[in-house]
Amino acid sequence: MKALVLDKYMELNYRDFPDPHMEADEVLIRVQACGICGSDIHGMDGSTGRRIPPLVMGHEAAGIITEVGTAVTGWKAGDRVTFDSTIYPLDDWFTRQGHYNLSNNRKVLGVSPGNYTKHGAFAELVSVPAHILYKIPDNVSFEQAAMVEPVAVALHAVNVSGIQLGQNAVVIGTGTIGLFVVKLLQTAGVYPIIAIDMDEKKLELSKAFGATHTFLSSDKTVSEKIQQLTKGRNADVAFEAVGVSETVNLCINSLCKGGKAILIGNLMPEVTVPLQKIVTTELSLLGSCAINGEYETVLELMASGKIDVGGMISAVAPLSEGAEWFNRLYRKEAGINKVILIP
């Protein structure tokens, strides 16, 4: 098969690659669409340490089943499917407690952190366990289905927050995940929804996704403005979708007493936090890791038209042009959001 292979850091090659091996509990999928994730971009330069070459990356994907393993039931060749990015064991204690995203020995598609390698979906074919599959509704395209994963990550963060109707929220970092957090908060009836980013164009897009107010992170009066919009109390919940000290601190400092910080971004392995602020105002800091069963809900939201991912897709391009699109995203070329590659 043909695949886009990270042969070494900063070198992606579209070339022949061995077909994936299919286990008895797996299905073989002919990939129809795969989105470039921000984590793939950081994987390309080696900064995360979780994508050790040689590797086929890609975990935001959809396709058609071409073959099913001998132990697979309920699925057949020709089914239109998408799949979770987390490959989790069914016999794990955390899985049985309803937290498969925290399971031991879980793997992530298209990731190679040193203790395992699982080639991903920037390829003509990919094999995945049947228990992570989801059927794509008839009125949802493969390109749209390739966007389910980032929306599900955002929905998991919203679910972790426990935010309620009548509460307000701040969203810091309006990349793909942050934008979908904004949209889901709007769908849930949260008001106001305050979006903060360093990029004016991203903030303009966040308004289209449902942000009621937007501020540049460079605005030195942003804290005062948040207070004014929240009756002087600050935010009930703040979502951080970047993962560096500056934005984590902004997230925490935007909260009211007893508020919740939902930490989604993990760009840096360590950050500093204002400990006394956290302790003396009884803040809750909650991590949000990947996805924990949100795929089906997201597919239903897409099928019903309540979530429209079309506005986030900047380009649909052949997989053979993938290296060029990776480089354009790496250079942070203006105006490019999500790029979908088609094998």
Those residues of the chain that have pLDDT short of 50 are: none
Same domain? For 140 and 156 the reply is: no
CA–CA gap between residue 154 and residue 295 (Å, rounded): 11
pTM: 0.95
Which tokens sit at 228? 């004014």
Cβ(192)–Cβ(214) under 8 Å? no
Same domain? For 63 and 87 the reply is: yes
CA–CA gap between residue 331 and residue 323 (Å, rounded): 12
- What pLDDT does 335 receive? 86
What letter would DSSP give residue 278?
H
CA–CA gap between residue 251 and residue 201 (Å, rounded): 21
**Residue 299 identity:** L
Tell me which residue range forms the domain holding 121: 2-147+309-342
**How far does CA 229 lie from the centroid of its chain?**
29
* 76 falls within a domain: yes
Cα–Cα distances in angstroms (integers) from residue 129 to residues 59, 142, 296, 340, in the given order: 14, 19, 17, 23
CA–CA gap between residue 12 and residue 232 (Å, rounded): 51
Question: Which CATH number characterizes residue 268's domain?
Answer: 3.40.50.720
Same domain? For 170 and 247 the reply is: yes
Same domain? For 118 and 201 the reply is: no
pLDDT in tens, 268-320: 889 999 999 999 999 999 999 999 999 999 999 999 999 999 989 999 999 99
CA–CA gap between residue 84 and residue 178 (Å, rounded): 19
Sequence length of the chain is: 343
- What pLDDT does 48 receive? 84
Helix (H, G, I), strand (E, B) or coil at 196: strand
